[in-house]
Amino acid sequence: MTGFLVRRFASVVFVLWAMTVVVFAIVHVLPGSVAHMILGEYATNEAIADLELRLGLNDPLYLQYWRWFTGLLQGDFGNSLTMDRPAAPLILEALGRSAILASISIVLVAIIGIGLGIHSATHVGSWSDRALTLMQYFFIAVPEFFWCILVIIFFAVWLGWLPATGYSPIAEAGLLGWAKHLILPVSTLVLGLIAHVSRLVRSSMLEAIESRYVLAARAKGLPERLVLRRHALPNALLPAITVLAVDVGILMGGIVVVESVFAFPGLGRMLIYAIENQDIPLMMGGMIVITAVYAIANLVADILYAVLNPRIRVSGSAG
Amino acid sequence: MLLPRRSALAIPALVGAVTLPRPGAAQSSGGGGVLRIAMSSNLRNLDPAKMTIGEEFMYAVFVFNGLVRMKEDQSIEPELAESWTYSDDLKTWEFKLRRGVKFHHGREMTADDVITTYRRVLDPATSSPSRSNYEMIEQMEAPDPYTVIFRLSYPYGGFADILSDRQVKIIPADRIDDLATRPIGTGPFTFRSYTPGDRVVFGRNADYWETPPKFDGVEMRILPEMSVRIAALQAGDLDVVWDLGPENIRALRDVRNVRVESVATASWDGAILNNTIAPFNDVRVRRALHLAVPKADVAEVVLFGEGSPTHSPIAPSHPFFANDIPFPARADAAGARRLLREAGHPNGIRVPLVIPVGRPVRERLGVTLQQMARPAGFEFEIQRVPFARYAAEVAGKVPIYVDGYFARPTIDTSTYPFLHTRGSQNARLWMYSDPRVDAALDAARLSGDVNVQKTHYLAMQRAMVDNPPGYFAYAQKFACAYRTAVRDVKTHPMRWFDLRAGSIGA
Amino acid sequence: MRHIPRTLWVGGTIVTAICILAVLGPWIAPFDPDAFAVRSRLEPPSATHWFGTDEFGRDVFSRVLAGAHHSLLMGFGATLISLVIGVPLGLIAAFRRGWTEETIMRGVDLMISIPPVLLGLLILAVSDPGLFKTILAVGLVYVPIMTRVSRAVALDLLAEDFVEAARARGEGGYHILVREILPNAWPPLIVETALRITFAILLGSALSFLGLGPQPPDSEWGLMIAESRPFISEAPWIGLAPGLCLCLLLIAVNVVGEGLRDLLDPRLRGRGHG
């Protein structure tokens, strides 16, 4: 088990480091100079040359990378070019807000997804099961950005029930107002994922229910409830956990679009803003942070999976 | 209600935005409520000297004052300067400053602050966009703390007018380093906080040197989606939508609790044609484009009628506009093709056309140009580039791209930098040179008589018909939407708001 | 031949119909998709304009038809790329083990660590957008998953008895690959491919929505939805039409994928990947 953990950890560290190299390389392939970005289009050539000297932009790339990398390790992401203040606090604040959105979404996806999946599996063929299956086909296939538009048209413009913007600080609108603003963005994020997770849980439950262990347990005369809980459920949950980890990645992709449309000031929005405005420190820092979160989510999922699934522990590899 | 699990990282989000402690001084309520204005993008700069976008100009007028101020009818009146006189040769200007004007941190404004402000703008290291507008300032003196004397290197009749511009708002000499994060000015509102991606918050300045505003505060909210802004306005979550898109004006005019106000401005959009690289380095090709795409149609298609075609940065609503130069009613594809053949392009032209991502009206202009120029032999391939990359990749490098510019305070500052051979913007945009235009611009500067100026500007516009630098498409109207409860807030042609008198009624 | 599930019939018919419409689109469209008609701007759906008109007066139905091929090309093209690159990589990893496998799988881990939309954004930051670059980008994004799946399938198969038997008979690696592995590997691979197409279309249109894909005046469906945003309250059909068509295509492709899985390898039920 320890060996497995160590290897996974090392893998995460490697991935993060490789990301810094990739991001740095890509960003420095971008046309236009950083000094130009800082000083704006009205700078004189002398001012630009001067700034480039001061920022060390004429040094060889590997030196610049080293400087940036060591800065990263100390928590210094450099200064945002467009907002003229340290990038790290900006990124972390935005991350915090996105984390709220993501946490609420993942919790909802887990609870509702797993719940619906179990219900479907234990009531196969009922109208609720069929209705669910139909909805699942539907929700999986609708693109996130389209959902946002639909939902805005429907709930905010036509019905006027819910606010069309995603963010209202608790201090201002109170807990209820804050929650109300979150309803539309969160629902847009979770619908597809709930469909995904519930289908998965349903199929794994069904598989487990028909498996040998369960047959044996039933043959022993155990009550159905117990059979389900002790034998079917754990086996059904295992794939659900891996899928949840993958869903974190999908969630992040979805967050980028959802935050843009609903004006939610999170990390996804900040990243798009940074890319559009070529705010390089913000862009690089944001990408690293998102990758880190995703890598950690995957790590956690892998660990959970290994803890729950004895077969993996022994063989030492997970897929 | 079930509280969601929050990660520990969420906590800083509630307290981390840049904030100023509330001033200890009397924070008496104005009673007018907090005005919530919606806009589409982040402020990139809190330093007035570096401002470039409309949202920043709005903020500057809340927090700062200039020596003079521009009213909604585009005339100027004294602001921080009580009065001024000028020498007969128009080269020496003396401004008397108001006494007792306090910055938000309590210190009184003096001549030293004024001189520091202008010196900063003139300093190349600051990289101010309007540095070249003030290059005629040779020397500044402060014989006493309330008098500033400007000595100009050449006579400039409009000197007082250009002091109303956005980049020369007066800043405190002792708080320059804080400008980017905790700006201090003399304006009717104090800066409280800026959360990028979310909002900028202002408080009421109870010690404002004029009558303090009725509003208790202002919030500028950042909402990129226009539909979201409009929905929030109708729902009462917002009070003002700044820069309403022309496509939305029609729909909102029928809504009961919303008022739309639209004014003519000199802000113009157009296609910037590079005069030094093919194919638009040939004047015949530039003229062919004008024949191929009738401006009247362009304004109608792109702006839904909220604007009018123009020949130059001089707006159709301005007295100097050349009304006698006609706009063709119809496309002349044959004429355009003939010109192209003469210029050596018998099979037409194929070039990329760059349009800015995130500016829907200009994107529409690009698509319209592309579509309408096709029958005349122009094959434009559209490339969408974020406008933040224009400086690095586009300006001065591509043959044709779509862009636009805000109105400037005076006709001279609207035209000279763009059209004169030595103009600062000219070198960045089209690299245009026409001796007749130069002569007209120089002559107009030398006279203080409005009628004489008019003849020169008319001559300039006529010369531009024969030799157009680029395709000036239209002067756009500027519209804002307000909840009917908002009183005494008007749409300003310079795209900012004068909030000194307004309030939110019951 | 096993009984073909109904889902496969229905889904397959819809997808085929869309493909045919996409190919015939330019010829059967009632109006020129690029033609402005300023007088009939923002008109709701009617007998002449089935899906209404947009802000330039262009017929939305014609534009939807003209844009269909983008989504299909993105789905099939990108998946093909991920197949062509990912499967050999996965098979090599499964066969060689050791350092080759380690390197390949570490690379895969790295790429999987980047959420797909982000990868697309990274590429947005660097190059000029366009249809083929988007197809390439989306294809590359899904290479790691194809690699993982094909490796897992190959590993599973390599542990089977008949492979042991083949080894015992002295057959070389190449023969085992071609004679034993591939014939048994293609059912799960096909299923995975079909499922991947859905995601490829989704990702491709999301990137177009963000501005990366085909440029105006091309009427790629994601781009059309993006361009419809200023007019949502006034003229929702401009965005609804391409959006609903996109959903229809995605559901149909998804259904086909599921149907294929039911047909070829019922064991894989529930083994859906992200």
Q: Tell me how crowded residue B454 is: count the other CB atoms within 10 A of its CB.
A: 18
Q: Which of A22, A143, A246 sits opposite C202 (nearest CB)?
A: A143
Interface test with C, best of B260, B367, B385, B402 (most C CBs within 10 A): B367
Given pLDDT bands bounded at 50, 70 and 90, which one contains residue B20? very low
Judge: A29–C251 Cβ closer than 8 Å, yes or no.
Answer: no
* Alpha carbons C265 and C195: distance in angstroms, whole number: 14
Average pLDDT value for residue range C114-129:
68
Q: Give the minimum alpha-carbon distance from B358 to chain C in angstroms, rounded to a whole number.
A: 10
Judge: B301–C36 Cβ closer than 8 Å, yes or no.
Answer: yes
Q: Does B370 touch chain C (CB under 8 A)?
A: yes
* Alpha carbons A1 and A24: distance in angstroms, whole number: 35
Given pLDDT bands bounded at 50, 70 and 90, which one contains residue B197? confident
In A, which residues are within 8 Å of C119 by CB distance? none
Judge: C56–B384 Cβ closer than 8 Å, yes or no.
Answer: no
Judge: A92–B16 Cβ closer than 8 Å, yes or no.
Answer: yes
Q: Is the pLDDT of residue C114 over 80?
A: no
pLDDT of residue A209: 73
Judge: B13–A93 Cβ closer than 8 Å, yes or no.
Answer: yes
Average pLDDT value for residue range B341-356:
91
For the stretch B386-410, pLDDT in tens is: 776 776 678 888 999 999 988 888 8
pLDDT of residue C127: 65
Question: Quick check: ipTM above 0.90?
Answer: no
Instruction: Give the single-character DSSP code of C230.
Output: G
Q: Give the minimum alpha-carbon distance from A277 to chain B in angstroms, rounded to a whole number.
A: 5
Q: Give the list of residues 6+ apart from residue C170 with CB closer than 8 angstroms, or none.
A: none
Stretch among B301-310, B356-365, B371-380, C51-60 having the lowest mean pLDDT: B356-365
In B, which residues are within 8 Å of C231 by CB distance? 247
* Alpha carbons A316 and A308: distance in angstroms, whole number: 14
pLDDT of residue C265: 64
Question: If you count residue pairs, one on A and one on C, with CB atoms under 8 Å apart, how many are there?
Answer: 143
Q: Give the list of residues 6+ apart from residue C216 with CB closer than 8 angstroms, or none.
A: B355, B363, B366, B367, B382, B384, C223, C227
Q: Does B252 touch chain C (CB under 8 A)?
A: no
pLDDT of residue C263: 77
Closest-CA residue of chain C to A249: C115
Q: Does C115 touch chain B (CB under 8 A)?
A: no
Q: Which of B360, B371, B384 sits opposite C129 (nearest CB)?
A: B384
Q: Give the minimum alpha-carbon distance from B159 to chain A in angstroms, rounded to a whole number.
A: 22
Task: Supply the mean pLDDT for chain A.
Answer: 76
pLDDT of residue B28: 54
Q: Is the pLDDT of residue A243 over 90?
A: no
Element (H, E) at C238: helix C237-264
Q: Which of B18, B228, B389 sits opposite A263 (nearest CB)?
A: B228
Average pLDDT value for residue range B75-94:
91
For the stretch A164-205, pLDDT in tens is: 666 666 656 667 777 777 887 888 888 878 887 887 788 777
For the stretch C227-258, pLDDT in tens is: 888 787 778 889 889 999 998 998 888 888 87
Q: Is B478 helix (H, G, I), strand (E, B) or coil?
A: strand
In A, which residues are within 8 Å of B423 by CB distance? none
Judge: C230–B360 Cβ closer than 8 Å, yes or no.
Answer: yes
Q: Is the pLDDT of residue C86 over 70?
A: yes
Angle (deg, nearest 10), helices B435-446 and B411-419: 150
Q: Is the pLDDT of residue B184 over 90?
A: yes
CA distances to B92, B304, C77, C197, C251 from C23, rounded to whole Å, are: 74, 35, 15, 19, 20
Given pLDDT bands bounded at 50, 70 and 90, which one contains residue A318? very low
Given pLDDT bands bounded at 50, 70 and 90, which one contains residue B470? very high
| Dihedrals phi, psi of B401, to nearest 5 degrees | -150, 160
In A, which residues are within 8 Å of B180 by CB distance? 84-85
| Dihedrals phi, psi of A21, to nearest 5 degrees | -65, -45
Residue B85 — left, alpha, or beta (φ > 0 → left; ψ -120 to 50 → alpha)?
Answer: beta
Given pLDDT bands bounded at 50, 70 and 90, which one contains residue A311? low
pLDDT of residue C270: 42
Q: Does B17 touch chain A (CB under 8 A)?
A: yes
Residue pair C68/C51 in contact (Cβ under 8 Å)? The answer is no
Q: Which of B42, B196, B392 sits opposite A31 (nearest CB)?
A: B392
Tell how strand B240-241 and strand B34-39 pair up: parallel
- Per the model's pLDDT, the better-predicted residue between A313 and A84 turns out to be A84
Q: Is the pLDDT of residue A133 over 60?
A: yes
Q: Does B225 touch chain C (CB under 8 A)?
A: yes
pLDDT of residue A246: 67
Closest-CA residue of chain C to A29: C126
Query: Which of the other chains make 3 or more beta carbon contacts under 8 angstroms with chain A?
Result: B, C
Tell me the percentage of chain C whose pLDDT exceeds 70.
91
Q: Does A36 touch chain B (CB under 8 A)?
A: yes
Task: Supply the mean pLDDT for chain C.
Answer: 81
Q: Is the pLDDT of residue C54 over 80?
A: yes
Average pLDDT value for residue range B283-303:
92
For the stretch B410-456, pLDDT in tens is: 888 889 999 999 888 898 889 999 999 999 999 988 877 888 989 99
Interface of A with B in 178-197 (CB under 8 A): 179
In C, which residues are within 8 Å of A149 by CB distance? 225, 228-229, 232, 239, 243
In A, which residues are within 8 Å of C206 by CB distance? 143-145, 253, 257
pLDDT of residue B201: 93
ω into B469 cis (within 30 of 0)? no
Q: Is the pLDDT of residue A316 over 50?
A: no
DSSP output for B47-75: -GGG--SHHHHHHHHHH---SEEE-TTS-
In A, which residues are within 8 Å of C124 by CB distance? 275
Q: Is the pLDDT of residue C196 over 80?
A: yes
Q: Is B218 helix (H, G, I), strand (E, B) or coil?
A: strand
pLDDT of residue B6: 29
Per the structure block, which two tokens stand in for A51? 């700034």
Q: Give the minimum alpha-carbon distance from A167 to chain C in angstroms, rounded to a whole number.
A: 20
Task: Supply the mean pLDDT for chain B.
Answer: 86
Q: Which of C112, C121, C272 sits opposite A196 (nearest CB)?
A: C272
Interface of A with B in 257-316 (CB under 8 A): 260-263, 265-266, 269-270, 273, 275-278
